[in-house]
Chain A
Amino acid sequence: MSEPMLKVEGVQAKYGDFIAVADASLEVPEGMIVSLIGSNGAGKSTLMDTIAGLHKPSQGKIYFKGEDITGLSADKIVVRGLSLVPQGSRCFIRMTVEDNLIMGSFPKVVRKKCKDSLERVYELFPVLKQKRNDLSGSLSGGQRQMVAIGRALMTNPELILFDEISLGLAPTTIKDIYARIKEINKSGTTVVLVEQDTQRAIKTAKLVDVMLKGKVVLSGKPEELSDEDIKKAYFGI
């Protein structure tokens, strides 16, 4: 079996003395959609932040495309092809939609492709082209999420981590965004989805990991995992 695109080995991440991620390990094979599910406070977002370089791990190792990226800062990780769409979109609200997207082309390695990437994003989310000159702070929650996804795509990633992308969005918007995520994956980008909506996450993914109290306690293909197994792992019962 070929080397996974992302490999997380025994990662621990803390906020002061509080251990948010205890001993998490997971593997993301190239080209797949992997869903990471778990209840509130399971440590999913902290794990994503740690992988993307926003949070330094206190233990463990993270490998991306076989290279050790443990403890590298976010600006150094993104140029290697790993991008995070953070929880709550985190758009630059005082910048226009287009300026937000162009910010995704900030790394020098992708600047030459800025124009093509921008067209690709506008094809994927036509509404963003219509609103290119609007401040992102004036957009709806769903549109902001599209900006955040588009911005991540502009970095030309090989792997995108989506953190709680459906949080607070209307069901029709969620459906639309998930359809786009599948398109992104089909074009060759590996995807990790962090979700609380277990049904949707399982339905979309080819591999599912369940986190509980800072650890990945269950892992497998959706068709191999029973509802009972997932429920037990999810709630720790």
Chain B
Amino acid sequence: MQVIQVIINGILLGGIYALLGVGMTMMFGIVKLTNLAHGEFIIIGAYLSTVLANAIGVDPILTIIVTVPIMFLVGMGLQSGLINRVMKIGSEPALLVTFGLSIILADAMLLIFSADAQRANVPYNTASLRIAQGLNISVLDLIVFCISLATIIVLSIFLKKTYLGRSIRATSDDTQAASLMGVNVNRTYAIAMGIAMATAAIAGMCVSMKWVYYPSSGGNYLLTAFGVVVIGGMGSIPGTLIAGLILGLAQVIGGANYGQLIAYVLMVLFLAVRPQGLFSK
């Protein structure tokens, strides 16, 4: 029974890991940009969610109705106004810009919210569902997993079935051929960044309910997102989900002492043996 419990916990943790990485993998796959500020975007999402939930007294989950459109528009503005311009010079300056952005955002959050630990309070924080003798599922973990899975499924359907989604995939394949089909590549990049930030808003909301966070927590989530992208394959949405589950299971199996170690050994192994990831794109 204990083994089943570990597997369930690992899968549930893997769901949020996949969500942490999905925005980053989109930016890798479509814009070919390593967004080093993705961790900070997640923490901004967490703060926005907590502040809003406290201000209007609603469940943090409902805050995504507001935070997702805001983060989407900010992402579009950031890509069109700054990163697209820098990318004309090359991908390295764009990488440095996102690095600079991560420092600026972390410092700005420190100024605004102080270094105090934060966590959103939800009534189901400690609630659990008893499935069998010795087998329980945390309600919060289950909710977070369902939100992560739903986000990834909706994103996959959007990319597969809509004109805009197809144009994003086409741009990731061949920018010139996409522009010959009437696609404005810079606008597509901006939409991709908008989507990446929208997923960061959802991930941030989940993080705020599940873990304690600080203005400087972005780096930890960036590393997890990197692990997901490396294992899943850059640009692959299904790969993100599988990689998230692998990392989640590895972390839970390894426990508090070896969880992180196993996860990062896996990441290094993938980089050495299969650098294109499981679902290479």
B176 at the interface (CB under 8 A from A): yes
Q: What is the distance, in angstroms, from A164's C-beta to the closest C-beta of chain B?
A: 15
Of A14-22, A99-107, A206-214, which stretch is located at the interface? A99-107
Nearest chain-B residue to A54 (Cβ)? B176
Residue from the list A52, A84, A106 in contact with B163, Cβ < 8 A: A106
User: Which parts of A48-95 form the interface with B (CB within 8 Å)?
Assistant: 52-54, 73-75, 78-79, 83-84, 86, 90-95
Nearest chain-B residue to A82 (Cβ)? B180
A79 touches B179 (CB 8 A): no
Nearest chain-A residue to B163 (Cβ)? A106
A107 touches B182 (CB 8 A): yes
B109 at the interface (CB under 8 A from A): no
Report the bound CA distance from A83 to B169 in whole Å. 20
A111 touches B166 (CB 8 A): no
B182 touches A75 (CB 8 A): yes
Residue from the list A75, A94, A103, A151 in contact with B281, Cβ < 8 A: A94
B182 touches A155 (CB 8 A): yes
Q: Is the interface of B mostly helix, strand, loop or mixed?
A: helix
B167 at the interface (CB under 8 A from A): yes
B103 at the interface (CB under 8 A from A): no
On chain B, the residues within 8 Å of A95 by CB distance are 166, 169-170, 173
B1 at the interface (CB under 8 A from A): no
Chain A residue total in the interface (Cβ 8 A)? 28
Given contacts A92-B169, A92-B173, A93-B173, contact A104 B163 (CB under 8 A): no
On chain A, the residues within 8 Å of B174 by CB distance are 90, 92
A103 touches B179 (CB 8 A): no
Report the bound CA distance from A75 to B171 in whole Å. 12
On chain A, the residues within 8 Å of B177 by CB distance are 86, 90-92
On chain B, the residues within 8 Å of A86 by CB distance are 176-177, 180
On chain A, the residues within 8 Å of B170 by CB distance are 92, 95, 103
Report the bound CA distance from A99 to B163 in whole Å. 9
B180 touches A106 (CB 8 A): no
Residue from the list B166, B178, B183 in contact with A99, Cβ < 8 A: B166
On chain A, the residues within 8 Å of B183 by CB distance are 75, 103, 106
B181 at the interface (CB under 8 A from A): yes
On chain A, the residues within 8 Å of B167 by CB distance are 103, 106
B166 touches A74 (CB 8 A): no
Nearest chain-B residue to A79 (Cβ)? B182
B5 at the interface (CB under 8 A from A): no
User: Which parts of B178-210 form the interface with A (CB within 8 Å)?
Assistant: 178-185
9 other A-B residue contacts (CB within 8 Å) besides A103-B170, A106-B183: A74-B176, A83-B180, A86-B177, A92-B169, A93-B173, A99-B169, A103-B183, A111-B163, A151-B181
Residue ranges of B at the interface with A (Cβ–Cβ < 8 Å): 163, 166-167, 169-170, 172-174, 176-185, 281
- 15 A-B pairs, CB-CB below 8 angstroms? A73-B184, A74-B179, A78-B181, A83-B180, A86-B176, A92-B173, A95-B169, A95-B170, A102-B166, A103-B183, A106-B163, A106-B167, A107-B181, A111-B163, A151-B181
Q: 10 shortest A-B CB distances, which residue pairs?
A: A107-B182, A74-B179, A90-B177, A92-B173, A106-B182, A103-B181, A78-B182, A92-B170, A106-B181, A75-B179
